Amino acid sequence: MPEFDYDLFCIGAGSGGVRACRFAAGFGARVAVAEERFMGGTCVNVGCIPKKLFSYASHFADDFEDAGGYGWTVFDAKFDWPTLVANKNKEIERLNGIYDRMLHAAGVEVFKSRAKVIDPHTVEVGGKRVTAGHILVATGGWATVPDIPGKDLAITSLEAFYLKKLPKKILIVGGGYIAVEFAGIFNGLGVDVVQLYRGPVFLRGFDDDVRHFLCDEMRKKGVDLRFNHNVIAIEEAGGKLCATLDTGNEETVDAVMFCTGRDPNSRGIGLEEAGVKLADNGAIKVNDYFQTSVPSIYAIGDVIDRIQLTPVALAEGMAVANTLFNNNPATVDYTNIASAVFSNPNIGCVGLTEAQAREKVGRVTVFTSDFKALKHTLSGSEERTFMKLIVNPSDDKVLGCHMVGPDAGEIVQGLAIALKCGATKAQFDATIGIHPTAAEEFVTMRTPVPEKDGTSS
């Protein structure tokens, strides 16, 4: 008779947890998973998928306007927010069902209930206690609002997907990718958008040229960007919200949205009582194989606060399944992970920023291109595209690729393969471009950006 009820019990049925469960079951393990909210986790329900759908919706305003230069006349174009929300909800429900069916097809037992760790091998779920040889925590993160007066009047990205009514004016607080994306979404849907960030420029951690270029493009589109600003209080005022800024000024809006951080979902599920060590921010501490301070308990995804991207959680889930049940101890290589920001226009990047590259190797060679895309020679739009390559002159390897422009994520995904393979600038130069495309600029940049002292960088 087995020592435990299951070989693996996973808490959380998001992308990483589902991947780990399915593959562990495929390797012959007896697996169960608990999910208290919705199948698919943050990405499917209140993250990547609905946000990208909203992003698509927001771009139609530009498309209608651009069409005029190509001879099209668009009559009486109107946007209906309830229709977008309803259609989004329908698609998310479809995906929820797919995740549920995938787990059952793999032979994974699904508990649609909150789970709590009792000890290193015991979980309480659905009013009963079950045992497992290994416990995997994949509970993700949750949006937070700073503790200021009136904070309960604010929304986060979680509520933004379900608003009953589209605000006429919104104040978005934050400088990360979620804030930037929603600023573009609401602006594209016709909302008057004010975005505040407490620092000098948003998107800390991205390449500086990319950050400043996107600022210019967003301002062209009418987003009111205010840096070195913050909100210190919110109150209701005549059916609207009055936000007091740290400058002493006030802003009256229909909604205040905070995109100022996400906390790991690690509290209140018995981890600390079971001996699992947490970082100060609540992130679960794990080793290279995602094992916590308790040998039988593992953790992956946003709850470990490494790189909060869905494909990373998937890779981590695969690694755990291989390590525990496929006799193949596996880690995850976090170098050269490509990412995109679905701002308007988009950002795509892979590898090091210029600042990171200079810190790592010293002198670097930088190539940039700033141009109006062919489409806009007739559209009349003032939107521009920016691309950047960072090269190590000592071995000619490309250290970073960065882009701001339409479909940046689609383009940079291919470049990520090149960087993973250690591509050199000479190999980029030897690649014949596809003409006419914006992407061909990445293989036609020949003149380095001069250093401030007059030499090539």
Active site residue 229: no
What pLDDT score does 75 carry?
A: 84
Average pLDDT, the chain: 96
- At 15-25, the pLDDT tens digits run 999 999 999 99
Reported as a single tens digit per residue, the pLDDT across 266-308 is 999 999 999 999 999 999 999 999 999 999 999 999 999 999 9
> What CA–CA distances, in Å, run from 209 to 12, 297, 343, 413?
38, 42, 16, 20
Q: What end-to-end distance do the CA atoms of the chain give, in Å?
A: 68
pLDDT at 202: 97
- pLDDT at residue 453, as a whole number: 58
Domains annotated for the chain, with CATH where assigned, are 6-142+263-325 (3.50.50.60), 151-260 (3.50.50.60), 339-443 (3.30.390.30)
pLDDT at 289: 98
Q: Which of 229, 376, 402, 435 is catalytic?
A: 435
Q: Which regions of the chain are under pLDDT 50?
A: 454, 456
pLDDT of residue 355: 98
Task: Report how far residue 10's alpha carbon sits from residue 301's, in angstroms, rounded to the nearest whole number.
Answer: 12
What distance in Å separates the CA atoms of residue 289 and residue 71, rounded to the nearest whole number? 58
303, two tokens: 């709850």
Label the pairing between strands 31-34 and 6-11. Answer: parallel
The predicted model scores a pTM of 0.95
Q: String of b and e for 363-391 (b: at least 16 CB within 10 Å)? A: ebbbbbbeeebebbeebebebbbbbbbbb
